[in-house]
Structure 1
Amino acid sequence: MSTYLKYTRVFKLGVQASLEYRLDFALTLVSAFFPILIQYYIWTAVYGQSETGEFFGYTYGEMILYTIVAAIVTKIVSTNMDHVIASDIKDGALNKHLVQPANYFGLKLFSMLGQKMFFLGTMLVILFMTLLYFTGLYDVRIPLANLICFVAAIGLSLILGFLISYTIAAIAFWLSEISYFFEMTGLFVIILSGGVFPIEVFGSTMNAILSYLPFKYTIYFPANVINGKLALHEIMNGLLMQGFWIVMMLIVSKAVWRIGLKKYLGLGG
């Protein structure tokens, strides 16, 4: 079987798996709603006390829209692959992949893409319905070019998020207990990515530091593409930075895995 057919088959299996677990899909949608509701009331109270009508450079409508988009993007780019991959390492399930004529990285990537396909389509429909509502309610105008660039940014964010998770999962080669570690790093990455609130909240210094890291290009950047906060040339630069970090994280993940495999005992399986 050719490499193309192998990955196509894995992708289709991922799509089938996502359709089978409809309850999990429904719970994911519900879990995205509660953080949005909490932040809606928080920001409504904060802006109600504001004399200027702006905080951190965002109007009330822009902040609420950012909160909704960031929550949706967070659910899209969160792959949970770090837990799956770490389990393969700890249980010895990685053994069979090391001897099979298929690349483990490629299998996990295409499996993830297949599992996300239906979810991605549904979330984009929900998002665009939300945008239609906001354009009338809060007078937020979103150019068509931003909508097209947003779809591209989401695709790149999904791949970049996977690479970050894949790299973090390699820690399982060195740590015996990693569940709490993943919970901690997962929350940390979401916060630094702008999944909880815009990174302007951290101040100019921290914002400048985060510009040299890949995290803001997974959630914060796509959210502001659709939010209308970025000019077209800034969006183009952001898409280039996403591509740059995908290449860099691919190199880093491969290097970390090569080192980790030298520590791999292959127990279980």
Structure 2
Amino acid sequence: MGTYEYVVADVFTDVPLEGNPTAVFPDASGLCAGRMQQIARELHLSETVFVLPPEQDGDIRVRIFTPVNELPFAGHPTLGTAVVLGASHEAKELRMETAKGTVSFELERDHDGRTVGAEMWQPLPVWEPYDRAAELLTALDLVDTGSTLPVEVYDNGPRHVFVGLDGVPALSSLEPDQRLLARLPDMAANCFAGSGTRWRLRMFSPAYGVVEDAATGSAAGALAVHLARHGLVPFGEWIEIRQGVGMGRSSTMRARATGTPERIESVQVAGAAVVVARGTLFA
């Protein structure tokens, strides 16, 4: 049996017990994938991150687990990990190896030198029309209203499907049928509303072991691409995305996409994080 220290950080917030929590194991050497999955199931957060020595061009390497599966990339846990590791990483930049490639972070520090946030350059997503859109709209009880934009799936590690609603009240009142959503494999249903630079998001993914997520950083980047591709936000402009409001875990993410509808050049997501707990696991 080994002893492993871990940290819990609330991500995309600077207020403890808001945002989306993630658990970070700063030194997971010696843990196999099966044990990592068991630990993620035990902690039962939307994602748990295990930090390992780099193998290629990064400062560190990470493996990311939901309670039910491993993800090649995810936004809020990697940003939370960057903030946690900032306490011992003196450089302004941190390069993190993921299964989707190396992700770069620029760390934000306060006047005391503490890392309080980060900006990440995410893997570029690929997208296509979602071939089970009718089933998804049925599960969301949106057959009559449909989506304000084409229902498309973006893959940047997780697979995010986007459905647009006419306004925040309609978004807030959604009550998805989780049993029907669970029949749609390897996807997260992201419902959004808003205009200009201010947007709201809700994410549901029983396929990833998450009934509803409080902040989804990978979806924030993909949403910025989706909105820019369809002309609702100019390429290169930062947008603010709020999530988790109805859950009592308000989160704020900033995102932007640069490029053109045919060729995305970069996807950036930024936000704050705050450490709320430290513990020891005997595994």
TM-score (norm: length of structure 2): 0.23
Greater per-residue strand proportion: 2
TM-score (norm: length of structure 1): 0.24
Q: Which has the higher contact order (CA 8 A, sep 6+)?
A: 1
